[in-house]
Amino acid sequence: MSTKWSVILGVLAICLLPAAVLAQESGEACPSSLESAGFADLDNLSAESISAIDCVAFYGITRGTSPTTFSPGEQLTRSQMARFLVRTVEAMGITLSSFPSAPFEDIGGLNSDGRRSVARLYELGITQGRQANLFDPTGLVDRWQMALFLSRTLSAAGLEEPTAAEPPPYQDLEGMSQEVVNAIGRLAGWGVEWPGVEEVFDPNRPVNREEMALLLAAALEAGGARPLKMHLELSAETSMHNEGIVATVTVTRGDGTPYRGKLVDVFVAWRGQEPDGTCRLDVDATINGVDSGTSVDCIIDKADPRTNFEGQVKVSITHRPRAETDRVFAWTGDLGQEFQVYYPHQAWADIKWVDSPERLEIEGPLEEDYGDAAEIYVELIGSQRLGKRLVLMIIRDGVVVHLDSRTTPRTGRVNFRYFGPKDPSDKNDDPMVETIRAFWDKNENSIYDGPAELSDETTITWDD
């Protein structure tokens, strides 16, 4: 970047950002601390290009052409450009319409995300299409077109006109409309310069994916986008359905300090997302005892939990009796924003729920004569009953007077023999009632540790 444009950018970064952007954290949109996107086809690119690609991947603007490839030399189509620009606007904190519409008749072959992106560009005034009712989604994007699209995108994001912008110095803009010339100058005034361009702009050359990444990284900086990091940790990766899992979400700023007061939505998904990228809730899961998501499912709303002084949110997750693997998502965004799989500020982890017994039952209540031996039958109901340690407690007047344990066979049913109290006298004595408590001793500590250890109670009455 030339010194002249660097000075302009330094001034505009202070003077021209809208209030909503100034409220965000300070720093850079694409700091060097961002993790690599992991694309394996970037070896021949400059460090600047690789950094820009990692940046747009971090913000969810692109996911690459495959999990391991970015295809930097591949030319950009208009439908791809629509997706990238819409995600760039969202990364700047601009909330877009959930149900946009556009008059184009040739976008029916795109998936729902592609159609929605084109319609959002239309509603923002970024595109009017090739001609009436036609967008040309497979057409390539020339440099002069990209200048218009990108300039309109930053204007739609709220950036004011750069007062220090100068006419572009390129020698080959004759024949271009004044709107194109102004757009190129406006972008330069915002600090968005064309990669590798000095004297010749080459306006009719199609834009490739590497150039797109460089341009959008500069646009993110101009628009005040700032990264934050999310980390999701589960108390266990495998759990029986009747055991609770604690999910701890940590949100930090780009410099690693806690991000306090940030709204975080957590939900449990089953088998990925819907085809349009929105969430698919697992109806068998509950979070904090309510449903499979916090507050309004998959939407950032005021009832979602906020991060504490450590930048953390903690939720408890349980599951109905069903063996399956679910994915827990934690994400953040603007108030009213609906989850999309490509959003950058999210984290996920998998939980494997395994079969386990569902309940424990004691046959009772029982009635026995003083001094007799009582046969007490205890059974685990459900699956995976073999080899579980069951503990029997006899409680009299609040004191444990007998303690015993057994290991379950495949049937899950065991019997305990308990010799009752002696007859107090030869007379007709009053009955004595004792409490029988049995529980599945998961921790094998002979102590009842709460509802996670299945239990049951009944009584045994001793009489003459």
| Edge-to-edge order in the sheet of strand 357-362 | 357-362, 373-382, 413-419
Do residues 198 and 148 share a domain?
A: yes
Residue 27 has pLDDT above 80, yes or no: no
Number of domains in the chain: 3
Q: How many residues does the chain have?
A: 464
The CATH number assigned to the domain holding 390 equals 2.60.40.1930
The stretch 342-349 carries a mean pLDDT of 81
204-262 residue pLDDT tens: 999 999 999 999 999 999 988 877 888 999 998 887 766 789 999 999 876 678 888 88
Do residues 17 and 78 share a domain?
A: yes
Do residues 317 and 282 share a domain?
A: yes
**What per-residue confidence (pLDDT) applies to 96?**
78
Q: Do the beta carbons of residue 149 and residue 126 sit within 8 Å?
A: yes
SS3 11: helix
CA–CA separation, 335 and 304 (whole Å): 10
Record the tokens describing residue 418, joined without a space.
Answer: 């308990």
354-404 residue pLDDT tens: 777 888 999 999 999 998 999 999 999 887 788 999 999 999 999 999 999
2 or 298, greater pLDDT: 298
DSSP letter, residue 407: E
Q: Do the beta carbons of residue 57 and residue 216 sit within 8 Å?
A: no
Do residues 72 and 168 share a domain?
A: yes
Do residues 152 and 11 share a domain?
A: yes
Do residues 118 and 60 share a domain?
A: yes
Residue 24 has pLDDT above 50, yes or no: no
Record the tokens describing residue 230, joined without a space.
Answer: 């999310």
What end-to-end distance do the CA atoms of the chain give, in Å? 100
Residue 12 has pLDDT above 70, yes or no: no
350-360 residue pLDDT tens: 998 877 788 89
Residue 136 has pLDDT above 80, yes or no: yes
Strand partners, 392: 404, 438
163-216 residue pLDDT tens: 766 778 888 998 899 999 999 999 999 989 888 888 899 999 999 999 999 999
Do residues 56 and 199 share a domain?
A: yes
Do residues 9 and 56 share a domain?
A: yes
CA–CA separation, 376 and 387 (whole Å): 19
Q: At what angle do helices 78-91 and 209-222 cross, to 10 degrees?
A: 20
Other Cβ atoms less than 10 A from the Cβ of 364: the count is 18
Residue with tokens 């660097």, as numbered in its chain: 6
Record the tokens describing residue 184, joined without a space.
Answer: 């190129």
Give the pLDDT band (50/70/90) at residue 15. very low
Q: What is the DSSP string of 204-253?
A: TSBPBHHHHHHHHHHHHHHTT---EEEEEEES-SEEETTS-EEEEEEEEE
238 φψ region: left (φ > 0), alpha (ψ -120 to 50), beta (else): beta
SS3 187: helix
**What per-residue confidence (pLDDT) applies to 10?**
34
Residue with tokens 């049937």, as numbered in its chain: 411
Strand partners, 232: 249
Q: Which of 304, 324, 354 is the last residue of a domain?
A: 354
Do residues 146 and 97 share a domain?
A: yes
Do residues 109 and 65 share a domain?
A: yes
SS3 413: strand
286-340 residue pLDDT tens: 888 666 777 777 888 888 999 999 999 999 998 887 788 899 999 987 778 888 8
Residue 6 has pLDDT above 70, yes or no: no
Residue 417 has pLDDT above 50, yes or no: yes
Residue 278 has pLDDT above 80, yes or no: no
DSSP letter, residue 164: T
The CATH number assigned to the domain holding 300 equals 2.60.40.10
Residue 271 has pLDDT above 70, yes or no: no
The stretch 111-117 carries a mean pLDDT of 90
Strand partners, 378: 362, 414
Residue 33 has pLDDT above 80, yes or no: no
Q: Which of 167, 200, 222 is the last residue of a domain?
A: 222
CA–CA separation, 398 and 394 (whole Å): 10
Residue 56 has pLDDT above 80, yes or no: yes
Record the tokens describing residue 139, joined without a space.
Answer: 């057409």
Do residues 51 and 174 share a domain?
A: yes
Residue 343 has pLDDT above 80, yes or no: no
**What per-residue confidence (pLDDT) applies to 16?**
28
Range of the domain at 109: 3-222
Residue 23 has pLDDT above 60, yes or no: no
Distances (CA, A) of 82 to 122, 148, 354: 10, 13, 43
**What per-residue confidence (pLDDT) applies to 18?**
29
Determine the Cα angle at 422 with ends 418 and 426, to 5°.
150
Of 4-8, 116-120, 242-246, 390-394, minimum mean pLDDT range: 4-8
**What per-residue confidence (pLDDT) applies to 145?**
95
How much is the mean pLDDT over the chain?
85
Task: Quote the pTM value.
Answer: 0.59
Residue 50 has pLDDT above 80, yes or no: yes
**What per-residue confidence (pLDDT) applies to 19?**
25
Q: Which helix (H) or strand (E) holds 47?
A: helix 47-58
CA–CA separation, 324 and 425 (whole Å): 59
Do residues 130 and 197 share a domain?
A: yes
Strand partners, 379: 361, 413
Q: Which of 188, 222, 256 is the last residue of a domain?
A: 222
Determine the Cα angle at 265 with ends 260 and 268, to 5°.
140
**What per-residue confidence (pLDDT) applies to 8?**
28
Record the tokens describing residue 170, joined without a space.
Answer: 């390129």
